[in-house]
Amino acid sequence: METLEQNIAIVKSKIGEAAAKSGRSPEEIHLVAVTKTVPPETVQKAVNLGITLLGENRVQEAGEKVDIVRGNVQWHLIGHLQKNKVKPAIKLFSMIQSLDSLGLAEEIEKRAGEIRRVMDVLIQINIGREETKSGIDADDAVEFIKKVSQLPHIKIKGLMAIPPFKEDPEEVRYYFRKMNDIFQNIKMMQIENVEMNFLSMGMTHDFGIAIEEGSNMVRIGTGIFGKRK
């Protein structure tokens, strides 16, 4: 087996283990292969091996790959989006996982409206209250979601978070748990035009714990494609 195939198999088996620990089946966990810095030929190989969701954190880099990679794939934007990149982003991505301000939501509304599409988004929560990270404060999440839910060309599909990095991923469990609490709470509120389908959290070094704590969408780069240069 080639490395890429092996890596995907290992990631999938870990997803299965963690899903079982949280009483779920592996099919409930969506795997987003994060392709930043990965050349399109390698992305294509991953797609040929069955990967269907691809994550990029830059609009321009995605633009260089989206038309080249063939197959039944969807691209998700997982990095911070600047307002002046919204227009191309809406054409490239099936989901923006990183909605983090009302100004950005209004720009997405405007640009999506222009081409009559409804843009799926996740709300990014800055769960560790880190100054270096974008995202909505957990305490403001409900109010923010209620405002965005009024915009007809945006559909909220869930939440995303990048918790603080800890050498020992066990220390991140607390943040994942907190995210799941917020997610379940908002789901129960049944806000009109808001679906809480996806809880996107967990990267290569902590996705097992993220899944144990309720994540149903993990974003894996290194674990699939190897170390980035």
Ligand X SMILES: *Cc1c(COP(=O)(O)O)cnc(C)c1O
Query: Rule CB under 6 A: which residues touch ligand X?
Result: 34, 36, 57, 78-79, 162, 203-204, 219-223
3-state secondary structure of 122: strand
CB of 122 to ligand X, least distance (A): 11
b (16+ CB within 10 A) / e for 112-131: beeeeeebbbbbbbbbbeee
Residue 89 is inside which H or E element, if any? helix 86-92
For the bound state, the minimum distance from the C-beta of residue 36 to ligand X, rounded and expressed in Å, comes to 6
DSSP β-ladder status, 217-220 and 154-161: unpaired
Backbone angles phi, psi at 73, to 5 degrees: -130, 155
Q: Closer to ligand X by CB, 81 or 151: give it.
A: 81
At 91, is the secondary structure helix, strand, or coil?
helix
- Contact between 163 and 197 under an 8 Å Cβ cutoff? The reply is no
| Shortest separation between residue 142's beta carbon and ligand X, angstroms | 23
Query: Which residue lies nearer to ligand X by CB, 150 or 222?
Result: 222
Find the shortest distance in angstroms from Cβ 150 to ligand X.
Answer: 27
Q: Between 110 and 205, name the residue whose CB sits nearer to ligand X.
A: 205
Torsion of CA 80, 75, 200, 144, to 10 degrees: 50
Q: Which is nearer to ligand X, 153 or 173 (CB)?
A: 173
Residue of this chain nearest to ligand X (CB atom): 221
Residue closer to ligand X, measured from CB, 31 or 151: 31
Minimum distance of ligand X from residue 193's CB (angstroms): 25
**β-bridge partners, 106:** none
Angle at 90 between CA 85 and CA 91, to 5 degrees: 105
